[in-house]
């Protein structure tokens, strides 16, 4: 009966916005509103920013550093939008870091060795990323094996692919004779906003709309929450999951192309442990790692937090060798916090 | 247990129930095996419009398998299924839903982190200009719940926060809203408290009053006798017999379930 009484007050300990109706929002007290997950992450984002601004005013608040920070948040965030769909659908993709390097190398190879024009090579990377996602999703769903294992295998295979295709050394001079490529990937639009930020904002808006407002988005939530219930209701859960893998792969292709254009390089060692940053962003953003709930707004803020933590570790002078330790600790802490909040909610 | 070889056809008088007109759903000679286990052996089953039929039997008797064949979740090895006299091939739950056959599964088949409206419309969300028409979902879900006299304060409440009985009611509301003229319910009262069980039984009676045909798969004979017009007994993958509720007793049904109906009198107090 405890559940029934909870229903009348929508008494969630720390709800994410996707689980709150407008009427429930209106009935919430200030105290309850302050416990909305996305608001909590927003506060954390501001707090970390303020802390770094105060602790390292000379290095953190420089134009150079802030632009770098925004870029890395954008790269993490674009892929994290796809990963949010995957998490909500009850799957994950560990291969995004290696895929990122592989696709950046492919853009370099297509342009430098094959003479492709920049936009064709970029579309090629997006299509190839989608195809890799199709493979990841197809193997996972057809053979009914955990995506954890499939994409762990691909984490290794795609890194190998990047090394083989590039011969182990970065492909340089990408787009040297095609200034438009840099304009769309590395330059500052209107003189201030780095291009990747605009890509990121665009992806966030489209991704947020698709997840929250379309039938596909509804089916992603249903598939991850209770796949059997979704299938019994006629939702094609296999297609839904594969679509999420394909979307994630395509977004990795976009980030690969942006990186190649901005750095004018396709590096086979790029994106090492990038998957950890992306997964951290999604989990910090409040998306349930067991599927069924989460939001793009949360992931947007989670990417900001994950990006600032990585940036802050460097600025605070953390030993380069010990940074992976801190990154791992952040992920585990984020999961612990998330799980303890969910247990309190009883959902 | 003594093998008696009882079949529906072999049992005299009380089994020959004449129903009027064309059955809403009629299955003949349904056989289904899993590897070497024959789960259903030449089973005939029919439901007429407006009836509440109970499908009873011990664990492994084949009642759930029969239900799954009739709602498209399993494919029979042989036999035919007719809906209103027309032969159909139900290859998936989707096919069955399109024919007006809906199922309320035992594990409730709800999506906990979504609200009541989204669950009533699960898999069939209406859209407007490419977006899910949330306002319409809220409005219609409220109307369906009111129509079925289901009391849930807000259709925008997360289903995971509802009581067991309310959840069962949401699942039933979905089956009705899917256009289910025939609703199968798999153990609808099994996981519920006593008061909630009563509510679900009342809901089944309300469905019947609206003209919806219901097949209840259940272990609970007390509930079966409360709501059903007719009781079909499965045993060992075969139909052990069927009885009108008015023409039988719990003792007789128990005897048919365990296969002792004509060998020994039912012990007192069953």
Flag whether pLDDT at B270 surpasses 70: no
Instruction: Please say whether the dihedral angle defined by the alpha carbons of residues A66, A68, A74 and A77, taken in this order, is positive or negative.
Output: negative
Which band of pLDDT confidence, cut at 50, 70 and 90, is reported for residue A250?
A: very high
Give dist(CA A245, CA B251) in Å, integer.
Answer: 57
Which band of pLDDT confidence, cut at 50, 70 and 90, is reported for residue B12?
A: very low
Name the least confident of A113-117, A195-199, B58-62. Answer: B58-62
Name the least confident of A101-110, A168-177, A182-191, A308-317. Answer: A182-191
Which domains does chain A possess?
Answer: 13-23+36-345 (1.10.3470)
**Chain A neighbors of B93, CB-CB under 8 A:** 231-232, 234
A140-150 tens-digit pLDDT = 999 999 999 99
B148: its two tokens: 């079925």
Flag whether pLDDT at B167 surpasses 60: yes
pLDDT, chain A, mean: 89
A85: its two tokens: 């769909």
- Are A1 and A332 in contact by the 8 Å Cβ rule? The answer is no
Which band of pLDDT confidence, cut at 50, 70 and 90, is reported for residue B264?
A: low
Flag whether pLDDT at B141 surpasses 50: yes
The predicted pLDDT at position A87 comes to 97
Name the least confident of B47-61, B65-79, B122-136, B254-268. Answer: B254-268
B221-254 tens-digit pLDDT = 888 988 999 999 999 888 988 898 888 888 888 8
Pairing of strands B127-128, B131-132: antiparallel
| B133–chain A nearest CA distance, Å | 9
The most confident of the ranges A70-79, B102-111, B168-177 is: A70-79
Kindly report the number of other CB atoms within 10 A of residue A82's CB atom: 29
Per CATH, domain B1-21+50-73+90-100+180-270 is 4.10.640.10: no
**Cα–chain center distance at B83:** 16
DSSP B35: T
A7/B127 CB distance under 8 A = no
In our burial notation (b when 16+ CB lie closer than 10 A, e otherwise), range A215-250 reads: bbbbbbbbbbbbbebbbbbbbebbebbbbbbbbbbb
A196: its two tokens: 């990747």
A303-346 tens-digit pLDDT = 999 999 888 988 888 788 888 888 888 889 888 888 887 777 66
Give dist(CA B161, CA A2) in Å, integer.
Answer: 9
β-bridge mates for residue B101, sequence order: B182
**Chain A neighbors of B107, CB-CB under 8 A:** 228-229
The beta-carbon neighbor of A234 closest among B94, B105, B132 is B94
The chain B residue lying nearest A290, using CA atoms, is B113
| A343–chain B nearest CA distance, Å | 13
β-bridge mates for residue B234, sequence order: B57, B239
Give dist(CA B85, CA A24) in Å, integer.
Answer: 48
Flag whether pLDDT at B11 surpasses 50: no
| ipTM score of complex | 0.84
DSSP B84: T
Which band of pLDDT confidence, cut at 50, 70 and 90, is reported for residue B13?
A: very low
Reduce the DSSP state of residue B55 to 3 states and report it: strand
pLDDT, chain B, mean: 85
Phi, psi of B81 (to 5 degrees): -125, 130
Give dist(CA A101, CA A157) in Å, integer.
Answer: 12
Q: Where in chain B is the domain with CATH 3.40.50.300?
A: 1-21+50-73+90-100+180-270
Chain B contact present for A21, CB below 8 A:
yes
The beta-carbon neighbor of A225 closest among B113, B130, B161 is B113
Which band of pLDDT confidence, cut at 50, 70 and 90, is reported for residue B101?
A: very high
B122/A4 CB distance under 8 A = no
Flag whether pLDDT at A169 surpasses 90: yes
B191-202 mean pLDDT: 86
The most confident of the ranges A60-64, A129-133, B27-31, B45-49 is: A129-133
B123/A222 CB distance under 8 A = yes
The chain B residue lying nearest A342, using CA atoms, is B113
């Amino acid at each position: 009966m405890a559940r029934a009484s909870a229903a009348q007050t929508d008494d969630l300990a720390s709800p994410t916005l996707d689980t709150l109706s407008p009427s429930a929002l209106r009935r919430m007290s200030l105290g309850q509103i302050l416990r909305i997950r996305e608001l909590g992450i927003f506060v954390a984002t501001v707090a970390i920013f303020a802390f770094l601004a105060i602790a390292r005013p000379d290095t953190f608040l420089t134009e150079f550093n802030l632009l770098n920070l925004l870029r890395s948040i954008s790269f993490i965030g674009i892929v994290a939008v796809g990963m949010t769909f995957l998490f909500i659908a009850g799957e994950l993709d560990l291969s995004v870091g290696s895929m990122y390097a592989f696709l950046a190398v492919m853009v370099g190879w297509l342009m430098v060795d094959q003479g492709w024009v920049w936009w064709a090579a970029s579309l090629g990377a997006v299509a190839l990323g989608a195809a890799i996602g199709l493979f990841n999703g197809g193997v996972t769903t057809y053979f009914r094996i955990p995506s954890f294992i499939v994409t762990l295998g691909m984490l290794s295979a795609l890194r190998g692919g990047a090394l083989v295709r590039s011969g182990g050394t970065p492909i340089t001079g990408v787009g040297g004779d095609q200034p438009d490529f840099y304009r769309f990937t590395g330059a500052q639009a209107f003189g201030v906003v780095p291009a990747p930020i605009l890509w990121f904002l665009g992806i966030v808006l489209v991704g947020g709309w698709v997840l929250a407002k379309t039938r596909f988005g509804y089916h992603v939530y249903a598939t991850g929450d209770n796949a059997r219930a979704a299938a019994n209701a006629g939702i094609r859960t296999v297609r839904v999951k594969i679509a999420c893998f394909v979307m994630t792969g395509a977004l990795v292709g976009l980030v690969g192309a942006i990186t190649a254009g901005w750095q004018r390089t396709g590096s086979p060692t790029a994106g090492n442990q990038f998957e950890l940053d992306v997964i951290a962003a999604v989990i910090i953003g409040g998306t349930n790692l067991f599927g069924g709930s989460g939001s793009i707004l949360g992931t947007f803020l989670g990417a900001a937090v994950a990006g600032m933590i990585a940036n802050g570790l460097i600025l605070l002078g953390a030993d380069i060798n010990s940074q992976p330790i801190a990154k791992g600790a952040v992920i585990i802490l984020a999961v612990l916090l998330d799980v303890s909040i969910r247990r309190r909610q009883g959902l | 247990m003594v093998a008696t070889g009882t079949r529906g056809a072999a049992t005299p008088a009380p089994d020959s129930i004449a129903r009027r007109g064309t059955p809403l759903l009629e299955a003949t000679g349904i056989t289904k095996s899993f590897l070497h286990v024959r789960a259903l052996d030449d089973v005939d089953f029919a439901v007429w419009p407006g009836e509440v039929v109970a499908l009873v039997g011990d664990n492994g008797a084949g009642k759930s398998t029969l239900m799954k064949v009739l709602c498209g979740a399993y494919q029979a090895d042989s036999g035919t299924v007719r809906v209103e006299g027309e032969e159909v091939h139900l290859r998936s739950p989707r096919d069955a839903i399109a024919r007006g056959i809906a199922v309320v599964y035992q594990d409730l088949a709800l999506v906990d982190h979504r609200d009541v409206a989204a669950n009533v419309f699960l898999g069939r969300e209406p859209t407007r200009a490419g977006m899910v028409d949330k306002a319409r979902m809220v409005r219609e879900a409220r109307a369906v719940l009111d129509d079925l006299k289901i009391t849930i304060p807000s259709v925008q409440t997360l289903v995971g926060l509802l009581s067991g009985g309310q959840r069962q009611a949401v699942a039933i509301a979905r089956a009705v809203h899917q256009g289910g003229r025939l609703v199968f319910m798999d153990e609808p009262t099994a996981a519920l408290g006593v008061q909630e069980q009563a509510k679900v039984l009342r809901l089944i009676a309300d469905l019947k009053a609206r003209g919806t045909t219901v097949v209840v798969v259940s272990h609970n004979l007390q509930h079966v006798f409360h709501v059903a017009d007719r009781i079909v007994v499965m045993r060992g993958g075969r139909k052990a017999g069927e009885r009108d509720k008015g023409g039988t007793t719990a003792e007789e049904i128990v005897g048919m379930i365990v296969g002792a109906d004509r060998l020994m009198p039912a012990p007192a107090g069953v």
